[in-house]
Structure 1
Amino acid sequence: MRIVRNFVMRTLKRRSKVQPSAFVHVSSHIAKDLVAEEYVFVGKNCEIGPQVRLGRYTMLASAVSIIGQDHVHSDPNVPIQFSGRPAQSETVIGRDVWIGRNAIIMRGLIIGDGAIVGAGSVVTRNVPAREVWAGVPARKLRDRFMDPADEAAHRAMVAGPILEPRFAQPQT
């Protein structure tokens, strides 16, 4: 069912750079040039502007927005509404990134592999790989992995071959 839905989305909405294994909820407003690698998940009501790249296994919860760089606002003689738009920068969200509900990511940033952004955060700076950030504005809370061996295993996983999906077993 997912494959058929994704085929229709790719064909009708002309999103040829979204991998067939990716899921983008139909209620989300996504620019046509979105690049989404394998097994990306984009939840309900997300707003993703132009020039965004999502790495494999990345998850965006509901109502995540990747916005900004919309208007020139430096000329005091021209209303912002009529001032035009600056050149747009690419936003790169790495592999295995988790972005919580209602987070706002300002356009033109880089969020590194394995990073986690807390719900409701406003990200105004680049987020290094494997760090947990949250707040308004978002700031580093901690590293995702405390053990260097875990960090090395994660680096190998995101750089390695695509993993086949499997459901997580309930924890006891």
Structure 2
Amino acid sequence: MPYDSRTKLEPNVYLSNTLGTRIGVNCRINEHVFIQQAIIEDEVLIAPHVAILSTSHQHQRTDISIVNQGDTKPQPPTIRKGAWLGRNVVIMPGVEVGEGAIVGAGAVVTKDVKAFTVVGGVPAKLIKTRKQ
């Protein structure tokens, strides 16, 4: 991660796996954000209490506890240039948030978000397209 004085990380940002995590220039990552592993491009805004996940728990078997089944293979999400993740957003493994997209507060993003769109809800759905 190259140093950029315009990139701001507020207190209590937790980077779970820095190996493979990239944070671009001129990003704002607010307090209490959890990043398991991700590719975050330039000029991204991340509000407080966001979780960006790259793995989940295996749960296919019923004969052993979920805690003993291990994790899924890492699939780091990608947050494209100029995107904005609102407060309490959850980004699931492997998801791509497109350039200039806005994810509304409290949304759970389980599928890719197209560039310059606004999504919200659980699971996140298209609200509108931003005019370019």
Task: Show the 5 A alignment for 1:1-40.
Answer: 17=1, 19-20=3-4, 21-31=6-16, 32-33=18-19, 34-40=21-27
Quote the Cα distance in structure 2 between the aligned partners of 1:86 and 1:100. 26
Aligned length: 129
Q: Distance in 2 between matches of 1:80 and 1:110?
A: 27
Name the counterpart of 2:96. 110
TM-score by length of 1: 0.71
Structure with greater strand percent = 2
* Structure 1 contact 18–35 (Cα < 8 Å) conserved: no
Cα separation, 1, equivalents of 2:91 and 2:60: 22
Which entry has the higher C-alpha Rg, 1 or 2?
Answer: 1
Unpaired runs of 5+ residues, structure 1, are 1-16, 146-150, 152-172
Equivalent residue for 1:90, pick from 45, 62, 76: 76
Question: Equivalents in 2 of 1:122, 1:68: separation in Å?
Answer: 14
Distance 1:68 1:54 in 2: 13
Q: Which runs of 4+ in 1 moved over 6 A?
A: none
- Residue 143 of structure 1, aligned match among 107, 111, 129: 129
Q: Distance in 2 between matches of 1:62 and 1:126?
A: 21
How well do the aligned residues superpose, as a CA RMSD in angstroms?
Answer: 1.3
Following superposition, the deviation at residue 140 of structure 1 comes to 0.2
Residue 78 (str. 1) matches residue 70 (str. 2) = no
Q: Distance in 1 between matches of 2:14 and 2:2?
A: 14
| C-alpha deviation, 1:18, in angstroms | 5.2
**Structure 2 residue matching 1:81: 3-state secondary structure:** helix
Instruction: Give the structure 2 partner of residue 43 of structure 1.
Output: 30
Higher relative contact order (CA 8 A, sep 6+): 2
Contact 1:66 1:106 in 2 (8 A): yes
SS of the residue aligned with 1:132? strand
Query: Which of the two has greater helix per residue?
Result: 1
Contact 2:118/2:128 (CA < 8 Å) preserved in 1? yes
Could you report, residue by residue, the CA deviation over 1:24-76 in whole angstroms, capped at 9, with x for unpaired residues?
123111132331111011101011102x0111110000101112632110011
Query: Does the C-alpha gap of structure 1 residues 78 and 23 become closer, same or farther in structure 2, counting only changes over 3 Å?
Result: same
Residue 116 of structure 2 corresponds to 130
- Alignment identity in percent? 27
Instruction: Give, as a single letter, the amino acid of the residue that structure 2 aligns with 1:64.
Output: V
